[in-house]
Structure 1
Amino acid sequence: PSRAGAQVDLPFVLGRQEYAESVRRLQQATATAAGLQAIFAPAQHTAEPTYREFLERLASAAQELGPAGGGRFSGAGGVCLCVLPPQARHTESACPTGVPLGTAGHALDKATGVLHLVDDLSAAKVYELVATFGDAALAAARVRAAQQAAINERLSRVQRVLRLRRISKEPLLSVRHLDEACRRLLERAEDLRHVVEGSTLRIGFANRLSQDGLCIEVAYNFED
């Protein structure tokens, strides 16, 4: 019992964990059978019966139809599906990923190459969407991967030169602003190293200490 007198329903907790694990296995198996890199959903949706039903429908169709695109959309750098609840098609605010789907219930995120769709679509419709958007999704994913590799290289160089413990960036920081920040940090490396060596640095929009006190946040356009 807890201090409040409540008891943990252990069988319920274990049952939820087992269900979540079974959904993860079904996601992986379905993605493989359908010729996709991955299928996933926002955390709050993975426990919904409609999501599991979607996976089961698609897995069943994959047994008959085989991998989409003959398998060219599978593996690393392949097509990923983000599966959302049906209400995500009605308003942008209902879509937790921030990608507006419209009444059709699907959209390609051109920034990441992820195909977003709602879970009440038929398996045949999913195959149709992958065929329609698959090549564009692959192209977007390649661009995103190249951008991420370039970002990682820039951050790694700053980390080495300033002898940082760790470095990261705000997700909303543009590549242009990251370039500006890295250039400024490297130009001032001699002066900054004795201040930040061994620290965790995060490049963002303001100069401050993080709320937990574990990270130094620096604005991309910081001044001396």
Structure 2
Amino acid sequence: MTSRSKEKVAAAFRKLFRSPDKLDNEGAGPSGSPARRGLLRRHRDGVGPAEATASVPASPGASSLVKKKVPGATEVRDRAAAVRTRRLMKELKEIKRLQESRPDPVFTVELVNDNLFEWHVRLHQIDPESDLATDLRELHIPNILLHLVFPENFPFAPPFMRVIEPRIEKGFVMEGGAICMELLTPRGWASAYTVEAVVMQFAASVVKGQGRVARAPTRPSCEFSRRRAEEAFRSVVKTHDKYGWVTPALSDG
């Protein structure tokens, strides 16, 4: 190795092993860049790259990006209304299709004043061997007229259903035409239940409870009305929530 080569190697070793203070002094000069000065300070203070990154304060808008937008009351109502509308449109379309495909449908549906959220359901068929079916034939009553009102949070809450005509005694039909069925209460309802399932359940319950058409003259206090039906239904729900739902004997209606 020549003397010139030896000098180059020695200079390289001196540069490699020079002290941090000397490096700091050189970096602080006019020719030292900000990045080089920062690197020298971290080297001198013993701060690693990860710690240096963690020490940088977060920007003011960073936390706001993480927060989720909370929907307002109006937005929640709009979403619920859309869900209710889609569900009822779907069910109404299916029921209409069944009505048109059968010459003698079990029940038919009509909108009350073109209101999608209020239906009249005419139940045309029940157990033909039941006393109630016999009463309907003898009195020439073609069907049982039901009134359904769907709340804003349907299908997550049950519809309110009552009998309009004829006036039925027993058969789990109460004052005002209210219907005593756990299926129609918040406790017994499930969003998967359809209108068809509700109507068919009523058709079975009114026969099981030995319902009969009232033949005696109707007193004003016994007339079927929505107000009386709602009051009677609230009362029976409160009672059953307290004591539980127990199917009574058939003789109790």
State the TM-score, normalized to the length of structure 1: 0.27
